[in-house]
A and B are shown apart, each in its own frame.
Chain A
Amino acid sequence: MPEIGTVRIRIPSRIRRGDVVRVRCLVIHPMEIVQRDKAGKPIEKNYHFINKVIMTYNAREVLQAETTQSMSENPFFSFAFKATEAGMLKITFLDTHGGKYEGTAEIKFS
């Protein structure tokens, strides 16, 4: 079983300079949902879920998102950016228990 935080990124197989690239990524994470007691009151605790997603390209931040428990288990993200130079795409996921999970994909022009 892959550990929590396995990141998979998928980019188009052929990219030309200046293309708008659609990036798809999936991270294995339980994304713990809020629990309620018998009276229906939410239980106070530090729930384990991803609360920040940062995407950088050649160390420049392209996108930052704050996420909540409303997202599904093993969440899937998709976004687009314009690739004007070749380089390394990095997506970082941060969770409420201090976990930091990273995935990278290399963008080369054909």
Chain B
Amino acid sequence: MRGHFRKAVLLAAVLTAACAQTERPSTTGRPPTPWVSHAIPEAKGEVKILPDGKKVHVRYKGWTTEDFSQFRTYAYDDMRPAPPVSKAPMPPVTGDPKAGRKLFLARAKGPCTGCHLIPGDDVWPAGNVGPDLSTYGDRKLPDEYVFTQVYDSRKFFPNTTMPPWGTAGILTPEEIVHIVAFLQTLKGPVAPEKDPNRNPDTRAKPVGFGDNLDPTNNPAVVLAEGAMSLWSKKGPTGKACADCHGGGPEKSMKGVATRYPRYVTAFQRVMSIEDFLTVHAPATTGLGMLAQSDDNLHMTVLIKMQSNGMPVSVDVSSPEARAAFERGRASYFKKVGQRSHACADCHTKGAGQGAEKFLGGRLLGDAETGFTKHFPLWRTSQAAVWDMRRRMQWCMTPLGMNMLPADAVEYAELELFLTAFDNGQPMSVPGIRH
């Protein structure tokens, strides 16, 4: 009897192990050895130790250098689990609604107003990803409940998009007590809105910047046309792009970009045009074309422009591409960083999800409408050409997370997942966005 039981336990253990084995993500289509980044130093996502022993994360000029090594990223070798749900007792301090309001608006903390609307002309610009809290106090919720909701909302809503402010250490328990005291003072009726743009529900949506392919409207077009000199520039091997790709980019590159990102057999990984140029240019012309360098970006725009108007048609059916697509999908839904956010939190439609709602003053895009067909684009607020990778790296920085190298396989597969939504839609590169 006892022997049978033991056997059963052993069998169960073996079965569980087998199941765990099959549940591990497929590695089909992933490079056999770790990918060596060919990116400019700012785009490599490296951690540097300063002479005074302080650790900093190397990012682009003007970006934060804060090191978020302790929080998990999209890296496939990062097996750390999401931070566990935690609860803290309410500290015995008296909440100060005034201090709470200040914390609610503090940009260095949340700001809570990025997602939640409260009354006040100084609340600018508020978002509407989360519920409107203008009359939250009328709900007469117990303080303890509201405290836990802010401390770690996952306690009540396991799939919430709200960051666990307390668990992540962004807000201290004392600070949360003040915020709770403030929220309890929010009672209706709310005065009628003076400015429709203050309320994200009635705010005008951005209308864009006109014709993105007009060179007098979009500087990226002019920059890409400048890459024509690079196209015919002879490298150390005595060869130029033009020597192998006859007929100029307009002929030789027509329709090429519609198939990227794709699984490239020669390099055994998924690559975007940018990734491919980093290794293809040195191998042929001998010229370096590091990811995120001006040469790489402008050449990418020049190549992609030749496919403008043609429908995007990336392959997600070959075994390698399919596996990569699935890994990209897993990344899209993976909760990462200090704030424990997933891409899906902001870019998927639904209650409590961000797509087509305002995060502060920014209107969040819906991934299902297709994000990539106008990338690389000109960013009017940055006065620079940004490709999908830099956009991803930027997205991840305020989430409290270290970035991966711009040409990382993880990003390429996430990009493939996103580009699959663009399939069938006409390309229009370079775009122009704020």
Contacts and interface: CB of A to CB of B under 8 A. Distances in A.
A23 B219 CA distance: 17
Contact of B215 (A1, A8, A72, A73): A8
A72 B215 CA distance: 16
Interface stretch (A13-21, A24-32, A35-43): A24-32
B201 interface: no
A2 B214 contact: no
Interface stretch (B221-229, B254-262, B353-361): B221-229
B217 interface: yes
B222 A10 contact: no
A83 interface: no
Counting chain A CB atoms within 10 Å of each CB, the highest count among B219, B227, B294, B295 belongs to B219
A54 to B, nearest CB: 18
A67 B214 CA distance: 23
B134 to A, nearest CB: 37
Contacts of A1: 223, 226-227, 294-295, 298
A76 B217 contact: yes
B295 A26 contact: no
B216 A2 contact: no
A76 B211 CA distance: 14
B383 A2 contact: no
A93 to B, nearest CB: 14
**Residue among A10, A26, A72, A76 having the largest count of chain B Cβ atoms under 10 Å:** A26
Interface residues of B, number: 14
Contacts of B225: 2
A24 B214 CA distance: 10
A84 to B, nearest CB: 24
* Central interface residue in A8, A9, A73, A78, by most chain B CB within 10 Å: A8
Interface in B272-305: 294-295, 298
Given A25-B216, A76-B216, A6 B383 contact: no
Contacts of A72: 383
Contacts of A92: none
A26 B219 contact: yes
B219 A28 contact: yes
A26 B216 contact: yes
9 contacts: A1-B294, A1-B295, A2-B225, A2-B226, A10-B214, A25-B216, A26-B222, A76-B216, A78-B216
Give the 7 A-B residue pairs with the shortest CB-CB distance, closest first.
Answer: A2-B226, A24-B216, A26-B216, A74-B219, A8-B215, A10-B216, A73-B383
Given A1-B226, A1-B294, A28-B222, 14 more contacts: A2-B222, A2-B225, A6-B222, A8-B215, A8-B216, A8-B222, A9-B216, A10-B214, A24-B217, A26-B219, A28-B223, A73-B383, A74-B222, A74-B383
